Structure 1
Amino acid sequence: MWWILMVLIILQWNARSLIENGQEFKKCISDGSFTPQVICIQEIWLKPHLKFVLQGYTAVRRDRKVGNGGGVVTFIKTDIAYKQVNVREECESVIVEVWSGSQKIRIINFYNPCKRLNSETLTNIGGEGSHSEVWCGDFNAHNTLWGSEHTDHNGRAVEELLEMKNLVCINDGSYTRLDISKSKYSAIDLTIMSECLAKDSVWKVLEKNLIGSDHFPLYCKIGLEVSKTDIERVPRWKIKAADWNAFQCECEPRLQSLNSNIDDVEQYNNTICEILCEVAEDVIGKSIGRQKKKNVPWWTDECSKVVKTRNRLLRRVKKSYSFDDFIAYKRAQAAVRKVIRVAKRKHWREYCDRIGENVDISDVWGMIRKMEMSFESAFKCD
């Protein structure tokens, strides 16, 4: 069944490695006060053999093929219809299209690794046509139009793109990146969109948490009607908790009392099936549908504690610009990554200890996917 979503929420963020910061990011999405329909992430630092799964989202990913770092990924809610658009090999970008009525909205997730930009290249990435556009990315471009202290070559190239395609940069002048080591802010993460979308948009920097990166997450809400699929939750039999002795005791007398003189085989079969289903409803029961799964089932109170401590030190650094506070923040950030890594490993080992003959193999593979492990690493002996 299709229905209409009246606002489209997009979250964008330069992760500076989902390997290091991805697990905390999952926790932030799971506990967040809003649910983005689209998430655009730059500098994912992943390779094809490394998996990153975000529960409830479909990933469209582009890894850097030569060298380390880089890469982009766009996550789309599973109930949002979309189409992937092919991009040129040399561009670190992912393009997807969603629909607002009969109008196409092209969402461009873009990362520029400090290369020299030109308006022609940017125009070719966006493509031609009657579609509206939303650009989310780290352009590494400075321009006083969006809050930079100066305008450089890349900033002028982006400004030319705005003029050529009637686009609007909806940044409000807030800084989007904090170089803590130099105590320097910059505005290089941009959200750009067509004029028709910009007038009904809300944009802000989520300043409370860098999530281990040096870029702040950016929130954008656009008022438009987007087609959405209502995914029906199908109840399932509670097979694992079934009392089969009780089921047998209930079924036997009712099956024995059946009239064996029924000539119609199909009618006889339907009667047996009805009896089995009625008894199953009473004895076994059904679930109410698939429950929401945890993105990070291994997250502990200690993980939350060290994250809280690090964020407190971040606020202190932003006020004092003290070198001692900077060192304390970096140590706290390292502690966050260590505690998360240890908690994840401990959860996996405890899960392995519980595996026995009665464990469904699909549950084991499901846990491996949650832990984002390959078969080899999952069963590697220390």
Structure 2
Amino acid sequence: LQVIAIKMETPIKVTICNIYLPNNDWNTQDVDEILAQLPTPFLLMGDFNAHNPLWGSNKTDAKGLAMEKWLDRDDIVLLNDGSHTSFNTKSNFFDSIDIAIASSHLTLALKWSVEGDLHNSDHFPIIIELPFPNLVTRLPKRWITRKADWQKFHESLELPSTLDVKSFTDAIIRAGEVAIPKSSGKPYKYAVPWWNHEVEKVIKDKKTALNRFKRYPTTENLIVFKKARAFARKIVLESKRNSWNNFISTLTSDSDISTIWQKVKSVSGKKHFTASIHIRTETGEISNNPEIVAEEIAKQFELTSSSDNYNATFLESKFEQESILDFSTNQTLSYNLPFNLQELEFALNATKSGAPGHDSITNDMLKQLTSEMKVLLLNLFNDMWNKNTYPNEWKQAIIIPVLKPTKDPLLSSSYRPISLTCCMGKLFERMINNRLMWFLELKDIFIPAQAGFR
């Protein structure tokens, strides 16, 4: 027997077991031995190669009768509703040999269904849903800038009545709401690079032919379905091959290795899924409750960055290094002059598309500002520069916990933080850094041996 089982701890404790019973002699005692090893509650499902109308088969065999008698017990329930779960390519008939069984007290919470497409297999995918809303990860709604109507964005930008961060941010957000669509916030499917309109059409035609044959199982409809399936396989294979060849032709000795691997995974259909984080709390409980997870990771980050980790000598040096210096002077120094529009444009051109901070303003939106809005943004930066101020809004960050390689994902200490700060604040910092770097290079302040961070 081929059996694999996993134990899920959250949001409920349940054992999920998948089984394959080969099309030869076996008896229900084999299934009993497996059942005895499964902690309750459990889900037992798989290809039993047993036929019985009880779960939708077109006939009854000895294994089906044995399974029917075996199912007549109080502690388990059959989930199948009689829908066909497979298509026999030899006999060209739909059948049901895939069975799903659950602990009796778990049954009412489950929803069993069969997906309508074979996906180039002879078994339909079976979906068993557990109605727990926290199993679905809700993603923040993001601007879909690749679908933006930038002309409408320019027309919708209104100059703020006052020169402050909030008014300027609100003006950009209002224009974005008019001209840039947003994602739904639902988990999204990653598009494969070989997908195109032709592939979409032939797969749709294949599904249509299959559904027609399921409703009207005639020889003519079977032939149409098989032709549509074969043609779809041909087109998909050609599209994959062309996509791969086009990618190979762009590779050079300077190609980034991470980009190459990302392409390889996308062509092969491997996707990166962002699963909800599960953390073991101090009490030993495993939780994926967002508030509990955030609190546990936040406590770990606070502990890691606490000054209590340092000795007195280091703390004294740290205090000295971080003390505020007096930069006041009566001289007119070049690096203290107000910024100009050329510096703003240079910094903007150097920015890349990336995740925004809590204000939702992206670098793409800043690049698309009208000339009048760019002048206002420059005035806003210079006002901060001259008054030696920095807005509190730009000091806030969204902290993303990232799992360290090879570390235990259940431990809060296994995560490192990534901070998403506001793009306008990062743009201002880039302008300041560019000016200071220019001055340091001009005056040969860097030692010749320094290669990094310059």
Q: What is the TM-score of this pair, normalised by structure 2?
A: 0.44
Q: Which has the higher helix share?
A: 2
Q: Is the alpha carbon distance of 1:293 and 1:198 closer, same or farther for their aligned partners in structure 2, counting shifts above 3 Å?
A: closer
Q: Does the Cα contact within 8 Å between 1:177 and 1:185 map onto a contact in 2?
A: yes
Aligned length: 223
Displacement of 1:194 in angstroms is 0.6
Displacement of 1:204 in angstroms is 1.9
1:136 aligns with one of 14, 23, 45: 45
Q: Is the alpha carbon distance of 1:303 and 1:228 closer, same or farther for their aligned partners in structure 2, counting shifts above 3 Å?
A: closer
Amino acid at match of 2:119: I
> C-alpha distance in 2, partners of 1:167/1:194?
5
> C-alpha distance in 2, partners of 1:188/1:342?
34
Name the structure 1 match of 2:238.
342
Name the structure 1 match of 2:209.
313
Q: Does the Cα contact within 8 Å between 1:110 and 1:139 map onto a contact in 2?
A: yes
Q: CA RMSD in A?
A: 3.1
Identity across matched positions, percent: 31
5+ residue gaps, structure 2: 141-186, 270-454
Displacement of 1:140 in angstroms is 1.2
Name the structure 2 match of 1:282.
none
Amino acid at match of 1:97: K
Correspondence 1:36-47 to 2 at 5 A: none
> C-alpha distance in 1, partners of 2:22/2:90?
20
> C-alpha distance in 2, partners of 1:341/1:92?
31
> C-alpha distance in 2, partners of 1:221/1:179?
26
Name the structure 2 match of 1:117.
26
Query: Which range is displaced more, 187-196 or 324-333?
Result: 324-333
Q: Does the Cα contact within 8 Å between 1:181 and 1:326 map onto a contact in 2?
A: no
Q: What is the TM-score of this pair, normalised by structure 1?
A: 0.51
Give the 3-state SS of the residue equivalent to 1:223 in structure 2. coil
Name the structure 2 match of 1:211.
119
Q: Which runs of 4+ in 1 moved over 6 A?
A: 225-232
> C-alpha distance in 2, partners of 1:305/1:228?
30
Correspondence 1:149-228 to 2 at 5 A: 149-163=58-72, 166-179=75-88, 182-207=91-116, 209-223=117-131
Amino acid at match of 1:124: E
Q: Does the Cα contact within 8 Å between 1:116 and 1:153 map onto a contact in 2?
A: no
Amino acid at match of 2:62: H
Task: Indicate whether 1:330 and 2:226 are aligned.
Answer: yes
> C-alpha distance in 1, partners of 2:199/2:99?
31
Q: Is the alpha carbon distance of 1:130 and 1:310 closer, same or farther for their aligned partners in structure 2, counting shifts above 3 Å?
A: closer
Displacement of 1:141 in angstroms is 0.9
Q: Is the alpha carbon distance of 1:221 and 1:333 closer, same or farther for their aligned partners in structure 2, counting shifts above 3 Å?
A: same
Q: Does the Cα contact within 8 Å between 1:105 and 1:134 map onto a contact in 2?
A: yes
Task: Indicate whether 1:92 and 2:2 are aligned.
Answer: yes
> C-alpha distance in 2, partners of 1:299/1:371?
10
Displacement of 1:318 in angstroms is 2.6
> C-alpha distance in 2, partners of 1:198/1:191?
11
Q: Does the Cα contact within 8 Å between 1:183 and 1:321 map onto a contact in 2?
A: no
Correspondence 1:210-249 to 2 at 5 A: 210-223=118-131
Name the structure 1 match of 2:35.
126
Q: Is the alpha carbon distance of 1:230 and 1:94 closer, same or farther for their aligned partners in structure 2, counting shifts above 3 Å?
A: farther
Displacement of 1:116 in angstroms is 2.4
Give the 3-state SS of the residue equivalent to 2:206 in structure 1. helix
Greater CA radius of gyration, 1 or 2?
Answer: 2
Displacement of 1:181 in angstroms is 6.0
Give the 3-state SS of the residue equivalent to 1:151 in structure 2. coil
Q: Does the Cα contact within 8 Å between 2:3 and 2:17 map onto a contact in 1?
A: yes
Q: Which has the higher strand share?
A: 1
Displacement of 1:107 in angstroms is 0.8
5+ residue gaps, structure 1: 1-90, 233-290, 374-382
> C-alpha distance in 2, partners of 1:345/1:337?
12
How far does the alpha carbon of each residue in 1:121-157 deviate from its partner, in whole angstroms, 9 at most, with x for none? 1122234364211122121112232233443222234
Correspondence 1:234-313 to 2 at 5 A: 294=190, 296-313=192-209
Give the 3-state SS of the residue equivalent to 1:110 in structure 2. strand
Amino acid at match of 1:322: T
